[in-house]
Amino acid sequence: MTTLTLGKALNRGLRNALAADDRVVLMGEDIGTLGGVFRITDGLQAEFGRERVVDSPLSEAGLIGTAVGLAYRGFRPVVEIQFDGFIYPGFDQIVAQVAKLHYRSRGAVKVPITIRVPFGGGIGAAEHHSESPEAYFAHTAGLRVVVCSNPADAHVMIQQAIASDDPVLFFEPKRRYHVKGEVDEAASLADAKPMGIATVVAPGDDVTLVTYGALVQTAKDAAVAAAEDGVSLEVIDLRSLAPVDYPTLEASLRRTGRLVIAHEAGQQGGVGAEIAASLTERCFDYLEHAPVRVTGHDIPYPPAKLEQHHLPDLDRILDGVDRVLGRANSLSGVEA
């Protein structure tokens, strides 16, 4: 076991992937000499050369579109999008090409492209630097969407994403890049838990609290706080948003009968909507209360000084728990 930050765990995972398969190439803006604005690719160009770790011209459509061509040629491109809010110029290439090429070619062309996206807020950044665009991709058939939340997962999941023959949108909770954790660098990938499986990060009986990315830690904190209050939260780190690991969620919800879903992205059409709807379909008879969503507001990401009024935090999650338990909460007395 080594103690690594989440960022460094990604760096080591990428390094393993580059070493394991010489068709793996890393591409992105400033990822070479600089090692990326978050230094996730630090040292990799020096080690693997300029044709494996490639500084690209400033164009996201260009990055994704050339990655598609490289996939045609049998490469496994790993593209870094510098910040969440800069993925949209590449949206057409992702949605119309990356997601559809395997289907369109009737399986003849594999598209093992990994698109890494540092995402989410809470870092006091300027506009376009704190977005949570994951729902767009989870709604796009043909893509897999995964999110890591801790160093150990980051290390394994990035390698699994790269090894996957499907295109993977790989979301990294940027505000947790510097948080440390134990990583077993020697562990074999073959034995690792598949990236499509969710993890129960804190067991509990009263409420199932589902989230992903940076909010996993907040949810764990909420479980501790709730426990002091006599409420037992089962916290589940989704890890995969497409497909979602429903068996794990169902098993929990059938026990607790109460579901809270938290994410930073807005509520309307967020990932929480799908999970609430799907779990209501699957577990209706077990539900004691309507699933509760604790999300960012449906607003453009606000200026930094207001972000604490946008992002779900410990208190807002606990308020959601109160709501699902029918205890006094922010909606008490309001017609639901």
Ligand X SMILES: Cc1ncc(C[n+]2csc(CCOP(=O)(O)OP(=O)(O)O)c2C)c(N)n1
141, two tokens: 């058939």
Is 86 a binder of ligand X (CB under 6 A)? Answer: yes
Of the candidates 102, 128, 129, 155, the residue annotated as catalytic is 129
Q: How far is the CB of 173 from ligand X (least distance, A)?
A: 19
Is 158 a binder of another protein (CB under 8 A)? Answer: no
61, two tokens: 């459509």
Q: Is the peptide bond before 243 cis (omega within 30 degrees of 0)?
A: yes
58, two tokens: 């400033």
Is 109 a binder of a second copy (CB under 8 A)? Answer: no
**Distance (Å, whole) CA 310 – CA 7:** 25
Is 139 a binder of another protein (CB under 8 A)? Answer: no
Q: How far is the CB of 131 from ligand X (least distance, A)?
A: 12
Stretch 183-242 residues interacting with a second copy (CB under 8 A): 242
Instruction: Please list, in sequence order, all residues whose beta carbon lies within 8 angstroms of the beta carbon of residue 302, skipping any fewer than 6 positions away.
Output: 309, 310
Contact indicator for 23, 74 with CB cutoff of 8 Å: yes
Is 102 one of the catalytic residues? no
Stretch 68-97 residues interacting with a second copy (CB under 8 A): 85, 88-89, 91-92, 95-96
Q: Which of 166, 110, 114, 115 is nearest to 142 (CA)?
A: 166
319's contact among ligand X, another protein, a second copy, none, with CB below 5 to 8 A by partner kind, is another protein
The single residue among 118, 122, 266, 320 that binds a second copy, judged by CB under 8 A, is: 266
Is 254 a binder of a second copy (CB under 8 A)? Answer: no
**Distance (Å, whole) CA 243 – CA 246:** 9
**Distance (Å, whole) CA 172 – CA 2:** 20
Give 58's DSSP letter: S
Is 304 a binder of another protein (CB under 8 A)? Answer: yes
Is 97 a binder of ligand X (CB under 6 A)? Answer: no
Q: Which of 167, 186, 261, 175 is nearest to 213 (CA)?
A: 175
Is 47 a binder of another protein (CB under 8 A)? Answer: no
Binding mask 59-78 for ligand X (x = CB under 6 A): -x------------------
Handedness of CA 308, 115, 58, 45 (dihedral sign): positive
Contact indicator for 273, 267 with CB cutoff of 8 Å: yes
Q: Which residue has the tokens 């007395």?
A: 333
Stretch 233-252 residues interacting with a second copy (CB under 8 A): 242
Which residues does the annotation mark as catalytic? 129
Applying CB under 6 A, the residues found at the interface with ligand X are 29, 58, 60, 82, 86, 89
Applying CB under 8 A, the residues found at the interface with a second copy are 61, 85, 88-89, 91-92, 95-96, 99-100, 103-104, 127-128, 135-136, 138-139, 141-142, 242, 265-274, 276-278, 280-284, 287, 289-293, 297-300, 336
